[in-house]
Structures are given as structure tokens and as C-alpha cells.
Amino acid sequence: MLLIMRMEFNVRKLLIILNKSCKNGNVDLIISSTDKNFMVPVGGNLIYSKDEKLIEKVKKNYPGRASISPLLDLFVYLYIFK
């Protein structure tokens, strides 16, 4: 099961649901957008999974389009709003 969610509603409830689903083995992969979830400029994604091989498959299908800029924006955002 591939789960792609936009975290725009009650984040606490969403995290509880995701945590339970991950513990039960119902979620293989979560992809979240940095611009919607952390309000930084468009272009970054975070990929979460226990299966490193699955992350590698995603990474191979998304070559050459990544930039360090969204990641730096995210780190600055997380540092400021810690």
C-alpha cells in the first residue's frame, strides 16, 4: 500500500493514525511535501519508510530533479521554529 497524504488537517490526529498504521504494517511509504507541510518554497519532499529498498526504488525514479535549496529552507524553518 502506498500512502501519500497532505497534512492539512489536525496534525496530532493524523500522526496518531499514521503511527498506529505504521506499527501494524499497513503503511509501506509516506511522502510529504515540504512546501505544504513546512511552508517553505516549492520543490522538496520527505520520504519515510522502514524499507530502505523501497526508498531506493523511489529515488531511482526521481533522478536529477532534486535541489539542495528546499532542504536548506526546511532546515532554516525547523531551526527558527524549534
Which residues, in sequence order, are CB contacts of 24 under 8 Å at separation 6+? none
Which residues are 29's β-sheet partners?
2
Q: What is the distance between the terminal CA atoms of the chain, rounded to a whole angstrom?
A: 33
Q: Are strands 29-33 and 2-4 parallel, antiparallel or unpaired?
A: parallel
Name the residue among 31, 30, 32, 34 with its Cα closest to residue 74.
34
* Per-residue confidence (pLDDT) for residue 27, from 0 to 100: 84
What are the tens digits of pLDDT across the range 25-76?
A: 888 888 877 777 677 777 777 788 888 898 888 888 876 566 777 778 778 8
Whole-number pLDDT of residue 65: 60
The three-point CA angle 46-50-55 to 5° equals 50
